[in-house]
Structure 1
Amino acid sequence: MTSYFEDSKPHIRMSALQPLIHEDEFRVKMHKVERRPQYLHQPPDGGWGWVVICGSFMCMYISFGIPRTLGIFVTPLVDNFESNTGTIGWIVSMPMTLLLTTGPIAGALCKKYGCRPMGILGGVLAGSGFLIAYSANNVFFLAIGLGILPGMGFGLASTASVVIISRYFENLFVLANGIIYLGGPIGYLSLPPITQLFLQMYEWRGAALILSGVTLHIAVGGALMRPLHLARDLKEINLHEDDENDKSYIHDGQSFNCENKNHKIKKLSKSKRVRSIFRGFVRHLELRLFCENTMFTILLPVILLSGFAYEAWLIYVTPQAEELQISATMSAILLSSTGVGAITGRLSQIAILHWKIMSSYTLLGFGTVVAWLSLMMDPLFQDFVGLLTFSITYGLATGIMMPLGPVLVRDYVGMNKLPAALGWFNLVRGTGALLGGSITGVLHDYYGGYYKPFIVVGMVQFMAVLMLFFKPCIQLCVEGKARWRTEKERELAP
């Protein structure tokens, strides 16, 4: 009788009815079983999520901090390239504009490939851009290195930071979102003086090289964004099973094939995965949100108008002070005081929402009203003390308002559609920022001062206040229409 152990390759009998398999094949199969992802019923609200918060905070700190420091490069770049201030100013404003306006594409890519790859890619793009700027010898390569690549990288990293937080936190999402959004004001408080020091020590090329290394740390923060598999992902996969033309589905960087009968999930081949990417790209943009979600559609104009006023204030508060014969040093304090107010406002917003003192929508209305009052009072107090007071107040108001956007978007559209909705949110906010910076400058040239332009900015913020007050009326109309449809369907039902 032949023993199993006489063969050079031992065998393992699984059962009397199953054929013999080699031990190495058995280990491979067991390894595949062990690597099968485990799906959680709900976000853990902690655990590795706190490490993810640290990585996301780093991404937000660099992504929002560095674009605010690029203004100090304007004068040396104009002298080096013998260009005009308008062209260089347009280049240094591109990172912040692209950070926001690339939102829909960044949201779709995060849902398609996952947050970790997009966070790492964002750091690589931004770091490569500053490296190109370091060696640029004309304005074209400077625009690519200092404007386009960093802007795209910052957009990917910031979107991935908020999306991954929404997967790890549900009950504590407000707290986690508030913590990572603190990175922005801390970044544009601390990075400008540090960058100014680099500029004085190593000139603009050396400073750009150092910033290249700093922005590569975004990739480190992105690497900490470990994918998390949730049960709602399986529900979303099942929603696409009836699609006869596209049975493949990709979520959070994982490719699946959905079969109608046994609901098996298996990895797709590379060719099918590439085809599914192009087929599902439009679906991941979630264009139906504008038709199906009334509250989300109402929120976007408010964000557009608030973004207009916010960017106009940040860009022109210092030139306004200098025009009023306030020294350059004291004028710079105004912008720093806005950052201090923003940090205070964001900490207050975290506490208020965490202990449920006020709803997120009511808090947004409060912040919008305070911002409007600050902007309207600014032209009436044309001295340093008055501007300092209203700079702190406006920073406090915007510190409350800005982090509430993702919270309200999540409440209105749900977690599954958050990446795409957050992308559209950032696009609208970036459009408002672009309009605010350009239109306010045109008004200054037309009127010859900042008095009337800041009145216009205050009126724009007041329009946002009016839209927020109309929201309850619109919500009642929407709910009434829904009840009418339900009653009508009951009457027509047999």
Structure 2
Amino acid sequence: MDADMTSHFVQSNNVDNKEHLERPCSDKGRLSSNEKVCKKESVLEALLGEKEISGSTSDLKERRSIENDDDEVEPQFSDLDSGWAWVVLAASFLSFALLGGSMYSVGIIHNALLERFQASVGLTSWVGALHTGILSLGGLLSTAMVDRFSCRTAIIFSGIFYTGGYLATAFVPCIEAALFTCGIVAGIGGALGYTASMVVVGFNFKRHRNLALGVSMSGVGVGVCVFAPVMQMAKEFYGYTGFFICCAGMQINLVTFGMLCFPSSLENYSHTMRLRDSGRLPQDTNVFKRRVMPYVNVMLNKGIVCLCFSMFLYCAATFLLYLHLPTYITTKGFSENQAAFLISLSGILTVVGRFLTGLLANIQHCNEIVLYAGSMTIVSIATIVYPFVSRHYVSHLMYVICLGLFLGSCYVVLTTVSLKFVGINYIATAIGLEFMLGGVGAIVGPVIAGILVDNGGTYDQSVIVAGGCILMAAVCGAFSVCFVAKRTDVNTTFELRVLELPRNVENTSSLGKIDPSGNAYLQ
């Protein structure tokens, strides 16, 4: 009887293979290893026939026909890199300008609060610390809103929280209330918008994704160069209350920019695939676990873990540098005006550097991981050498030029690098997790440098420590290449999740079973 079953199975397998070779699923360029996938499908159908599972074969065929239609025709992805995608890119660029201007103008906000309430510097500093800390640490908050609703919703709520926080700060009676309104509420607004403004570009571009990310993220530099001076003038001209009302008026534009970011077909597709992945868990799994497990898998991805450590070290070092760089320049005998000019120059060059990085990464066959780790390596080498040549103003100028051109390059390609590990369905989760670890580094780095200086160290030593951290960040980023899996195009192609069947099949009883969601499992 076993021999008859094996003969029947082999015959049906051969017949199905011939049929599948004539079907569209073997069309060139649709999926990697198409013939191999078709063979697996034919074996699966034979398994269903032998196990006499009524209705399962037709259900599976119907399921595959829907999935194959999406994969072959891809009408829902025709809006990528064209039409409204460019409007979304402009909205993302302007959103980053507002977010960057607010994030890097925390010193102006600090001075305004200090003059108004005459509180201690330490207590007032908590407002700025919460403002920037929550913006970075709240990456997963933005991820949750993007995955549950859309990037559009997250950016709109970013503008609402920002506006409400700044308006309330304009009329608060004490610094303790400002801790909540400006530190926490406005910080949540920044957290919601920053991740979503990056992810929405990835959902609207495929062929020009790196270039689009370079353009959008250069908005941070534009915000530092344009909005920061505007905020300073508003503070001097309108006073405390008028200053925060003007800040609220600027940030409410995030609502307008968010309204323009309609979900693309790729974003809708990703949302559907996440719901599908949640439904793949066993039926007796509780709702919470069904929702959370796919995200836990992203967090445990080895490539994403490498990128998280990389961002932690990188942000710890770069925030240390920008916090102490003006003081460091003045300790070398140069004026505060010269130091301010160098910092402004780095902001301008950040725009150029991020755009050029996107342009370079958009070149075919460009390895984004090499670009990610390579830009960090250049910054680390320049930072380690910097203290040894800092007696000359030209050396400061050369270092700031290098810092401006390469400091933001890793952020431009971070989305594309993350796509090598998790795919487009969970890119928001990956980016949010990486930004959260970066936020932890942004808090830890300056504190460690301060402790080092207070305990007899020098600013030269803290700069060298920063250079070492950036070098380790580059190593972590480069090491992630070991975990890049060979896969189909993560942007639009659906992967058939059928387990590899044994090459030598002696009888069908050893193959396994089909779960309610249509997956094959080996016993």
Q: TM-score range by the shorter chain?
A: 0.7 to 0.9
What are the within-5 Å matches in structure 2 for residues 157-172 of structure 1? 157-172=193-208
CA 1:95/1:43 → structure 2, altered by over 3 Å: closer, same or farther? Answer: farther
Q: Is the 8 A contact 2:101 2:227 kept in 1?
A: yes
Q: Distance in 2 between matches of 1:290 and 1:341?
A: 34
Q: 2:94 aligns with which of 21, 45, 58?
A: 58
Q: Distance in 2 between matches of 1:297 and 1:489?
A: 32
Q: Distance in 1 between matches of 2:500 and 2:273?
A: 29
Which residue of structure 1 lines up, in the alignment, with residue 517 of structure 2?
A: none
Give how far 1:389 is off: 1.4
Q: 2:357 aligns with which of 334, 337, 349?
A: 349
Q: 1:443 aligns with which of 439, 452, 455?
A: 452
Q: Is the 8 A contact 1:132 1:141 kept in 2?
A: no
Unaligned runs of 5+ in 1: 1-37, 248-274, 480-485
Which residue of structure 2 lines up, in the alignment, with residue 334 of structure 1?
A: 342
Q: 2:403 aligns with which of 369, 391, 394?
A: 394
Q: Secondary structure at the match of 1:288?
A: helix
Which residue of structure 1 lines up, in the alignment, with residue 320 of structure 2?
A: 312
Q: 1:372 aligns with which of 380, 396, 407?
A: 380
Amino acid at match of 1:436: G
Which residue of structure 1 lines up, in the alignment, with residue 126 of structure 2?
A: 90
Q: Is the 8 A contact 1:364 1:401 kept in 2?
A: yes
Which residue of structure 2 lines up, in the alignment, with residue 324 of structure 1?
A: 332
- Per-residue Cα deviation, 1:312-351 (whole angstroms, up to 9, x for no partner): 1111111212233322211111211211232221121122
Which residue of structure 2 lines up, in the alignment, with residue 184 of structure 1?
A: 220
Q: 1:140 aligns with which of 170, 173, 176?
A: 176
What is the alpha-carbon root mean square deviation over aligned residues? 2.8
Q: 2:419 aligns with which of 400, 403, 410?
A: 410
Q: 2:438 aligns with which of 429, 435, 442?
A: 429
Q: Is the 8 A contact 1:67 1:96 kept in 2?
A: yes
Which residue of structure 1 lines up, in the alignment, with residue 19 of structure 2?
A: none
Q: Is the 8 A contact 1:370 1:394 kept in 2?
A: no
Q: Distance in 1 between matches of 2:208 and 2:253?
A: 26
Give how far 1:491 is off: 8.4
What are the within-5 Å matches in structure 2 for residues 11-410 of structure 1? 40-41=76-77, 43-230=79-266, 231=269, 233-242=271-280, 282-283=292-293, 286-291=295-300, 293-356=301-364, 358-380=366-388, 381-410=390-419
CA 1:48/1:488 → structure 2, altered by over 3 Å: closer, same or farther? Answer: closer
Q: Is the 8 A contact 1:108 1:281 kept in 2?
A: no
Q: TM-score, normalised by structure 2?
A: 0.74
Q: Secondary structure at the match of 2:407?
A: helix
Amino acid at match of 1:160: A
| Range with greater deviation from structure 2 (317-326 or 219-228) | 317-326
CA 1:358/1:105 → structure 2, altered by over 3 Å: closer, same or farther? Answer: same
Give how far 1:234 is off: 4.2
Identity %: 22
Give how far 1:74 is off: 2.8
Give how far 1:133 is off: 1.0
CA 1:117/1:280 → structure 2, altered by over 3 Å: closer, same or farther? Answer: farther
Q: Distance in 1 between matches of 2:435 and 2:478?
A: 23
Amino acid at match of 1:75: N
Amino acid at match of 2:307: L
CA 1:226/1:470 → structure 2, altered by over 3 Å: closer, same or farther? Answer: closer
Amino acid at match of 1:339: G
Amino acid at match of 2:311: I
Q: Is the 8 A contact 1:340 1:392 kept in 2?
A: no
Q: Distance in 1 between matches of 2:459 and 2:280?
A: 59
Q: Distance in 2 between matches of 1:471 and 1:227?
A: 31
CA 1:283/1:183 → structure 2, altered by over 3 Å: closer, same or farther? Answer: farther
Q: Distance in 1 between matches of 2:75 and 2:189?
A: 30
Which residue of structure 1 lines up, in the alignment, with residue 492 of structure 2?
A: none
Q: Distance in 1 between matches of 2:154 and 2:504?
A: 50
Give how far 1:137 is off: 1.5
Q: Is the 8 A contact 1:134 1:206 kept in 2?
A: yes
Amino acid at match of 1:366: G
Q: Is the 8 A contact 1:163 1:419 kept in 2?
A: yes
Q: TM-score, normalised by structure 1?
A: 0.78
Which residue of structure 2 lines up, in the alignment, with residue 9 of structure 1?
A: none
Amino acid at match of 2:201: I
CA 1:303/1:475 → structure 2, altered by over 3 Å: closer, same or farther? Answer: same
| Range with greater deviation from structure 2 (90-99 or 132-141) | 90-99
Q: Is the 8 A contact 1:107 1:159 kept in 2?
A: yes
CA 1:283/1:327 → structure 2, altered by over 3 Å: closer, same or farther? Answer: same
Q: Distance in 1 between matches of 2:110 and 2:150?
A: 36
In the comparison of the two structures, how many residue pairs are matched? 419
Give how far 1:166 is off: 2.0
Q: Distance in 2 between matches of 1:111 and 1:246?
A: 24
Q: Distance in 2 between matches of 1:280 and 1:208?
A: 43
Q: Distance in 1 between matches of 2:505 and 2:186?
A: 57
CA 1:307/1:208 → structure 2, altered by over 3 Å: closer, same or farther? Answer: same
Q: Is the 8 A contact 1:246 1:279 kept in 2?
A: no
